[in-house]
Amino acid sequence: MFRNFTRVMTLAFMLAPAGGAFAQGAPAQKVTVGMTNVATDIGLFVAQKRGYFRQEGLDVEFTTFDSAARMMAPFAAGDLDVSAGAPSAGFFNAVGRGIDMRIVADKVSTPPGRPSQTLIVRKDLVESGRFKTLADLKGLKLANSAPGTAAWGTIHRIIQKAGLKDSDVELVALGFPQQVIALANGAIDAAFPAEPMTTEAVGKGYGVKIVTDAEIYPYHQIATIFYSGKFAKERPDAGRRFMKAFLSGVRDHNDALDDKGMFTGAKGDAIIAILNEFTSIKSADFYRGFPLAFCNPDGTLNVESIKADYEAFAGAGMIQQKVDPLTAVDTSFLEAALKDLGPYKKP
Protein backbone atom coordinates (compact mmCIF):
# COMPACT_ATOMS: atom_id res chain seq x y z
CA MET A 1 0.00 0.00 0.00
CA PHE A 2 2.82 2.39 0.89
CA ARG A 3 4.55 1.64 -2.44
CA ASN A 4 1.30 2.39 -4.33
CA PHE A 5 0.86 5.62 -2.41
CA THR A 6 4.43 6.62 -3.24
CA ARG A 7 3.85 5.93 -6.96
CA VAL A 8 0.69 8.05 -6.92
CA MET A 9 2.41 10.96 -5.18
CA THR A 10 5.39 10.76 -7.53
CA LEU A 11 3.11 10.78 -10.57
CA ALA A 12 1.15 13.75 -9.16
CA PHE A 13 4.38 15.65 -8.62
CA MET A 14 5.55 14.91 -12.18
CA LEU A 15 2.25 16.11 -13.65
CA ALA A 16 2.08 19.28 -11.59
CA PRO A 17 2.91 22.52 -13.46
CA ALA A 18 6.42 23.92 -12.97
CA GLY A 19 6.60 26.10 -9.88
CA GLY A 20 3.26 24.77 -8.56
CA ALA A 21 1.46 27.41 -10.62
CA PHE A 22 -2.05 26.08 -10.04
CA ALA A 23 -3.85 22.95 -8.96
CA GLN A 24 -4.86 20.49 -11.65
CA GLY A 25 -8.63 20.58 -12.13
CA ALA A 26 -9.03 23.88 -10.31
CA PRO A 27 -11.45 26.34 -11.94
CA ALA A 28 -9.80 28.89 -14.22
CA GLN A 29 -9.24 32.33 -12.73
CA LYS A 30 -10.74 35.19 -14.69
CA VAL A 31 -8.35 37.97 -15.73
CA THR A 32 -9.67 41.11 -17.44
CA VAL A 33 -7.36 42.82 -19.95
CA GLY A 34 -7.71 46.24 -21.59
CA MET A 35 -6.06 46.80 -24.97
CA THR A 36 -6.23 49.00 -28.08
CA ASN A 37 -6.38 45.98 -30.41
CA VAL A 38 -3.34 46.90 -32.51
CA ALA A 39 -0.71 44.65 -34.06
CA THR A 40 1.61 45.03 -31.07
CA ASP A 41 -0.96 43.26 -28.89
CA ILE A 42 0.22 40.14 -30.71
CA GLY A 43 1.63 38.46 -27.58
CA LEU A 44 -1.81 38.59 -26.01
CA PHE A 45 -3.53 37.38 -29.18
CA VAL A 46 -1.21 34.39 -29.56
CA ALA A 47 -1.40 33.44 -25.89
CA GLN A 48 -5.18 33.48 -26.16
CA LYS A 49 -5.44 31.66 -29.48
CA ARG A 50 -2.91 28.95 -28.69
CA GLY A 51 -4.28 28.29 -25.22
CA TYR A 52 -1.29 29.48 -23.20
CA PHE A 53 -3.52 31.37 -20.78
CA ARG A 54 -5.75 28.32 -20.37
CA GLN A 55 -2.69 26.14 -19.74
CA GLU A 56 -1.84 28.47 -16.87
CA GLY A 57 -5.33 28.15 -15.40
CA LEU A 58 -6.52 31.57 -16.57
CA ASP A 59 -9.72 32.67 -18.28
CA VAL A 60 -8.66 35.88 -20.00
CA GLU A 61 -11.23 38.41 -21.21
CA PHE A 62 -10.20 41.22 -23.60
CA THR A 63 -11.83 44.67 -23.66
CA THR A 64 -10.91 47.10 -26.47
CA PHE A 65 -10.40 50.85 -25.95
CA ASP A 66 -9.71 53.47 -28.62
CA SER A 67 -6.63 54.70 -26.74
CA ALA A 68 -4.48 53.52 -23.87
CA ALA A 69 -5.15 56.73 -21.95
CA ARG A 70 -8.85 55.88 -21.80
CA MET A 71 -8.08 52.62 -20.06
CA MET A 72 -6.67 54.43 -17.05
CA ALA A 73 -9.95 55.20 -15.26
CA PRO A 74 -11.34 51.63 -15.25
CA PHE A 75 -7.86 50.27 -14.63
CA ALA A 76 -7.31 52.53 -11.62
CA ALA A 77 -10.74 51.57 -10.31
CA GLY A 78 -9.82 47.89 -10.44
CA ASP A 79 -12.26 47.03 -13.23
CA LEU A 80 -9.31 45.79 -15.28
CA ASP A 81 -6.59 43.49 -13.94
CA VAL A 82 -4.15 44.05 -16.80
CA SER A 83 -3.68 46.86 -19.28
CA ALA A 84 -1.71 46.83 -22.52
CA GLY A 85 -0.91 50.43 -23.32
CA ALA A 86 1.46 53.34 -22.94
CA PRO A 87 2.90 54.99 -19.83
CA SER A 88 0.99 58.28 -19.97
CA ALA A 89 0.77 61.51 -18.01
CA GLY A 90 -2.54 60.23 -16.66
CA PHE A 91 -0.86 57.07 -15.41
CA PHE A 92 1.83 58.99 -13.55
CA ASN A 93 -0.73 61.41 -12.12
CA ALA A 94 -2.67 58.45 -10.74
CA VAL A 95 0.52 57.05 -9.21
CA GLY A 96 1.15 60.47 -7.69
CA ARG A 97 -2.28 60.31 -6.03
CA GLY A 98 -1.31 57.03 -4.40
CA ILE A 99 -3.15 54.67 -6.77
CA ASP A 100 -1.28 51.39 -7.03
CA MET A 101 -0.67 50.62 -10.72
CA ARG A 102 2.46 48.93 -11.97
CA ILE A 103 4.50 48.74 -15.16
CA VAL A 104 5.49 45.08 -15.29
CA ALA A 105 6.91 44.28 -18.76
CA ASP A 106 7.62 45.55 -22.25
CA LYS A 107 4.90 45.44 -24.86
CA VAL A 108 6.67 47.30 -27.68
CA SER A 109 9.73 49.48 -28.20
CA THR A 110 11.31 51.11 -31.23
CA PRO A 111 14.83 49.99 -32.15
CA PRO A 112 16.00 51.36 -35.51
CA GLY A 113 14.11 49.80 -38.40
CA ARG A 114 11.26 48.54 -36.18
CA PRO A 115 8.73 51.41 -35.96
CA SER A 116 5.56 51.27 -33.93
CA GLN A 117 3.88 54.48 -35.10
CA THR A 118 4.34 56.69 -38.15
CA LEU A 119 3.63 60.32 -38.91
CA ILE A 120 1.29 60.42 -41.92
CA VAL A 121 0.30 63.57 -43.78
CA ARG A 122 -2.77 63.75 -45.97
CA LYS A 123 -1.85 62.86 -49.54
CA ASP A 124 -3.39 65.95 -51.18
CA LEU A 125 -1.33 68.23 -48.91
CA VAL A 126 1.86 66.52 -50.05
CA GLU A 127 0.91 66.49 -53.73
CA SER A 128 -0.10 70.17 -53.68
CA GLY A 129 3.17 71.22 -52.06
CA ARG A 130 1.48 72.49 -48.87
CA PHE A 131 3.57 69.97 -46.97
CA LYS A 132 7.23 69.52 -47.93
CA THR A 133 9.17 69.33 -44.68
CA LEU A 134 8.39 68.87 -41.00
CA ALA A 135 8.34 72.64 -40.59
CA ASP A 136 5.15 72.62 -42.67
CA LEU A 137 3.32 71.01 -39.76
CA LYS A 138 2.77 74.54 -38.51
CA GLY A 139 -0.94 75.30 -38.52
CA LEU A 140 -1.97 71.73 -39.35
CA LYS A 141 -4.34 69.47 -37.43
CA LEU A 142 -2.45 66.43 -36.19
CA ALA A 143 -4.28 63.50 -34.61
CA ASN A 144 -2.87 61.58 -31.65
CA SER A 145 -4.77 58.88 -29.77
CA ALA A 146 -5.10 60.99 -26.61
CA PRO A 147 -3.34 63.86 -24.80
CA GLY A 148 -0.33 62.96 -22.68
CA THR A 149 0.37 59.51 -24.11
CA ALA A 150 3.83 58.06 -24.70
CA ALA A 151 3.20 58.71 -28.40
CA TRP A 152 2.83 62.39 -27.52
CA GLY A 153 6.46 62.21 -26.39
CA THR A 154 7.42 61.28 -29.95
CA ILE A 155 5.18 63.95 -31.46
CA HIS A 156 6.81 66.47 -29.12
CA ARG A 157 10.22 65.47 -30.51
CA ILE A 158 8.94 65.68 -34.10
CA ILE A 159 7.70 69.21 -33.46
CA GLN A 160 11.02 70.16 -31.85
CA LYS A 161 12.93 68.70 -34.82
CA ALA A 162 10.76 70.86 -37.09
CA GLY A 163 11.90 73.96 -35.19
CA LEU A 164 8.36 74.58 -33.96
CA LYS A 165 6.60 74.93 -30.62
CA ASP A 166 3.90 72.51 -29.48
CA SER A 167 1.39 75.34 -29.81
CA ASP A 168 2.22 75.69 -33.52
CA VAL A 169 0.42 72.41 -34.24
CA GLU A 170 -3.23 71.72 -33.43
CA LEU A 171 -3.40 68.34 -31.72
CA VAL A 172 -6.66 66.41 -32.07
CA ALA A 173 -7.50 63.36 -29.93
CA LEU A 174 -8.71 60.43 -32.05
CA GLY A 175 -8.46 56.67 -31.68
CA PHE A 176 -6.33 54.88 -34.27
CA PRO A 177 -9.23 53.62 -36.43
CA GLN A 178 -10.83 57.07 -36.36
CA GLN A 179 -7.58 58.63 -37.54
CA VAL A 180 -7.84 56.67 -40.80
CA ILE A 181 -11.42 57.84 -41.33
CA ALA A 182 -10.53 61.44 -40.51
CA LEU A 183 -7.67 61.43 -43.02
CA ALA A 184 -10.02 60.05 -45.65
CA ASN A 185 -12.66 62.77 -45.18
CA GLY A 186 -10.21 65.63 -44.65
CA ALA A 187 -11.16 66.28 -41.02
CA ILE A 188 -7.47 66.21 -40.07
CA ASP A 189 -4.27 67.04 -41.91
CA ALA A 190 -1.93 64.53 -40.33
CA ALA A 191 -2.04 61.53 -38.00
CA PHE A 192 0.21 59.37 -35.87
CA PRO A 193 -1.37 55.90 -35.98
CA ALA A 194 -0.06 52.48 -35.07
CA GLU A 195 -0.15 49.39 -37.25
CA PRO A 196 -2.25 48.09 -38.86
CA MET A 197 -3.89 51.51 -39.29
CA THR A 198 -0.72 53.10 -40.71
CA THR A 199 -0.47 50.69 -43.64
CA GLU A 200 -4.25 50.78 -44.12
CA ALA A 201 -4.28 54.58 -44.45
CA VAL A 202 -1.31 54.66 -46.83
CA GLY A 203 -2.53 51.69 -48.84
CA LYS A 204 -5.90 53.32 -49.45
CA GLY A 205 -4.23 56.55 -50.58
CA TYR A 206 -5.37 58.70 -47.66
CA GLY A 207 -1.90 59.69 -46.50
CA VAL A 208 1.83 59.61 -47.09
CA LYS A 209 4.40 58.30 -44.62
CA ILE A 210 6.74 61.05 -43.44
CA VAL A 211 8.78 59.76 -40.51
CA THR A 212 8.58 56.91 -37.99
CA ASP A 213 8.98 56.88 -34.23
CA ALA A 214 11.97 54.54 -34.63
CA GLU A 215 13.73 57.31 -36.56
CA ILE A 216 12.73 60.17 -34.25
CA TYR A 217 12.86 58.35 -30.92
CA PRO A 218 14.88 55.11 -31.19
CA TYR A 219 14.48 52.57 -28.38
CA HIS A 220 11.42 54.39 -27.07
CA GLN A 221 9.44 52.34 -24.55
CA ILE A 222 6.27 53.16 -26.44
CA ALA A 223 4.00 50.64 -24.69
CA THR A 224 4.06 48.30 -21.71
CA ILE A 225 2.06 45.71 -19.81
CA PHE A 226 0.52 47.08 -16.60
CA TYR A 227 -0.92 45.25 -13.59
CA SER A 228 -3.42 46.87 -11.27
CA GLY A 229 -2.27 47.00 -7.65
CA LYS A 230 -5.25 44.90 -6.63
CA PHE A 231 -4.36 42.15 -9.10
CA ALA A 232 -0.67 42.24 -8.17
CA LYS A 233 -1.28 42.12 -4.41
CA GLU A 234 -4.32 39.85 -4.15
CA ARG A 235 -3.50 37.38 -6.96
CA PRO A 236 0.29 37.40 -7.40
CA ASP A 237 0.38 33.77 -8.55
CA ALA A 238 -2.12 34.57 -11.33
CA GLY A 239 0.09 37.55 -12.21
CA ARG A 240 3.11 35.29 -12.60
CA ARG A 241 1.17 32.79 -14.68
CA PHE A 242 -0.26 35.52 -16.89
CA MET A 243 3.25 36.84 -17.55
CA LYS A 244 4.53 33.39 -18.46
CA ALA A 245 1.70 32.88 -20.96
CA PHE A 246 2.09 36.36 -22.40
CA LEU A 247 5.83 35.92 -22.96
CA SER A 248 5.18 32.55 -24.60
CA GLY A 249 2.91 34.35 -27.09
CA VAL A 250 5.49 37.08 -27.71
CA ARG A 251 8.16 34.45 -28.32
CA ASP A 252 6.03 32.62 -30.87
CA HIS A 253 5.65 35.96 -32.67
CA ASN A 254 9.41 36.56 -32.65
CA ASP A 255 10.01 33.03 -33.94
CA ALA A 256 7.94 33.97 -37.00
CA LEU A 257 9.99 37.07 -37.92
CA ASP A 258 13.26 37.52 -39.76
CA ASP A 259 15.99 39.91 -38.59
CA LYS A 260 14.20 42.86 -40.21
CA GLY A 261 10.88 42.15 -38.52
CA MET A 262 9.21 40.66 -41.59
CA PHE A 263 7.08 37.52 -41.41
CA THR A 264 8.66 34.48 -42.98
CA GLY A 265 7.76 30.84 -43.62
CA ALA A 266 4.99 28.72 -42.17
CA LYS A 267 5.41 30.21 -38.70
CA GLY A 268 4.82 33.65 -40.20
CA ASP A 269 1.69 32.48 -41.96
CA ALA A 270 0.32 31.11 -38.69
CA ILE A 271 0.91 34.37 -36.79
CA ILE A 272 -0.59 36.42 -39.64
CA ALA A 273 -3.71 34.26 -39.40
CA ILE A 274 -4.00 35.15 -35.71
CA LEU A 275 -3.58 38.87 -36.45
CA ASN A 276 -6.25 38.63 -39.15
CA GLU A 277 -8.57 36.99 -36.64
CA PHE A 278 -8.11 39.48 -33.80
CA THR A 279 -7.58 42.82 -35.60
CA SER A 280 -9.74 44.66 -38.12
CA ILE A 281 -7.55 43.60 -41.05
CA LYS A 282 -8.66 40.35 -42.74
CA SER A 283 -6.01 40.08 -45.47
CA ALA A 284 -3.39 37.31 -45.50
CA ASP A 285 -0.98 39.54 -47.47
CA PHE A 286 -1.45 42.74 -45.49
CA TYR A 287 0.95 42.01 -42.62
CA ARG A 288 3.69 40.90 -45.00
CA GLY A 289 4.01 44.46 -46.28
CA PHE A 290 5.88 46.15 -43.42
CA PRO A 291 8.27 45.33 -40.54
CA LEU A 292 6.48 44.56 -37.31
CA ALA A 293 7.28 46.64 -34.25
CA PHE A 294 9.65 45.07 -31.73
CA CYS A 295 8.03 43.11 -28.89
CA ASN A 296 10.83 42.04 -26.56
CA PRO A 297 10.76 38.23 -26.13
CA ASP A 298 12.24 38.60 -22.64
CA GLY A 299 9.90 41.46 -21.70
CA THR A 300 12.81 43.77 -20.86
CA LEU A 301 11.87 47.38 -20.10
CA ASN A 302 13.81 50.49 -21.15
CA VAL A 303 13.54 52.38 -17.87
CA GLU A 304 15.55 55.34 -19.17
CA SER A 305 12.90 55.90 -21.82
CA ILE A 306 10.15 55.76 -19.18
CA LYS A 307 12.00 58.41 -17.18
CA ALA A 308 12.51 60.59 -20.27
CA ASP A 309 8.80 60.50 -21.12
CA TYR A 310 7.90 61.42 -17.57
CA GLU A 311 10.24 64.43 -17.71
CA ALA A 312 8.66 65.51 -21.01
CA PHE A 313 5.18 65.32 -19.46
CA ALA A 314 6.39 67.30 -16.46
CA GLY A 315 8.04 69.91 -18.67
CA ALA A 316 4.78 70.39 -20.55
CA GLY A 317 2.85 70.94 -17.31
CA MET A 318 0.97 67.64 -17.55
CA ILE A 319 2.13 66.25 -14.18
CA GLN A 320 0.07 67.36 -11.20
CA GLN A 321 2.29 65.99 -8.45
CA LYS A 322 5.88 64.96 -9.04
CA VAL A 323 6.85 61.37 -8.30
CA ASP A 324 9.78 59.11 -9.05
CA PRO A 325 8.45 57.43 -12.22
CA LEU A 326 10.37 54.25 -11.50
CA THR A 327 8.42 53.62 -8.28
CA ALA A 328 5.70 52.35 -10.62
CA VAL A 329 8.01 49.74 -12.21
CA ASP A 330 7.67 46.20 -10.81
CA THR A 331 9.70 43.53 -12.60
CA SER A 332 9.08 40.76 -10.04
CA PHE A 333 6.42 39.05 -12.18
CA LEU A 334 8.69 39.17 -15.22
CA GLU A 335 11.63 37.77 -13.26
CA ALA A 336 9.48 34.89 -11.99
CA ALA A 337 8.28 34.05 -15.51
CA LEU A 338 11.83 34.12 -16.88
CA LYS A 339 12.94 31.66 -14.21
CA ASP A 340 10.50 29.18 -15.72
CA LEU A 341 11.04 30.06 -19.38
CA GLY A 342 14.71 30.97 -19.42
CA PRO A 343 16.16 33.57 -21.83
CA TYR A 344 14.78 33.66 -25.34
CA LYS A 345 16.72 31.81 -28.03
CA LYS A 346 15.88 32.32 -31.69
CA PRO A 347 15.19 28.94 -33.30
pLDDT band of 22, cuts 50, 70, 90: low
Q: Which of 4-8, 91-95, 151-155, 308-312 has the lowest mean pLDDT?
A: 4-8
How high is the pLDDT of residue 121? 98
How high is the pLDDT of residue 324? 96
**Domain range annotation of the chain:** 12-109+221-341, 118-216
The span from the CA of 179 to the CA of 174, in Å, is 6
pLDDT band of 107, cuts 50, 70, 90: very high
The span from the CA of 164 to the CA of 132, in Å, is 15
CATH 3.30.565.10 fits 12-109+221-341, yes or no: no
pTM greater than the 0.75 cutoff: yes
Q: Which tens digits make up the pLDDT trace of 45-85?
A: 999 999 999 999 999 999 998 777 778 888 888 899 999 99
Q: Which tens digits make up the pLDDT trace of 180-204?
A: 999 999 999 999 998 889 999 999 9
How high is the pLDDT of residue 95? 94
DSSP string over 40-73: GGHHHHHHHHTTHHHHTTEEEEEEE-SSGGGGHH
Is the model's pLDDT at 5 over the cut of 80? no
Give the 3-state secondary structure of residue 108.
Answer: strand
> With pLDDT > 70 as the criterion, what percentage of the chain qualifies?
93
Q: Which tens digits make up the pLDDT trace of 285-331?
A: 989 988 988 999 999 999 999 999 999 999 999 999 999 999 999 99
Give strand ranges (E) for 155-288.
170-173, 190-191, 207-212, 223-228
The span from the CA of 344 to the CA of 347, in Å, is 9
Is the model's pLDDT at 284 over the cut of 90? no
The span from the CA of 26 to the CA of 86, in Å, is 34
What is the architecture of the domain spanning 118-216?
A: 3-Layer(aba) Sandwich (3.40)
Is the model's pLDDT at 7 over the cut of 60? no
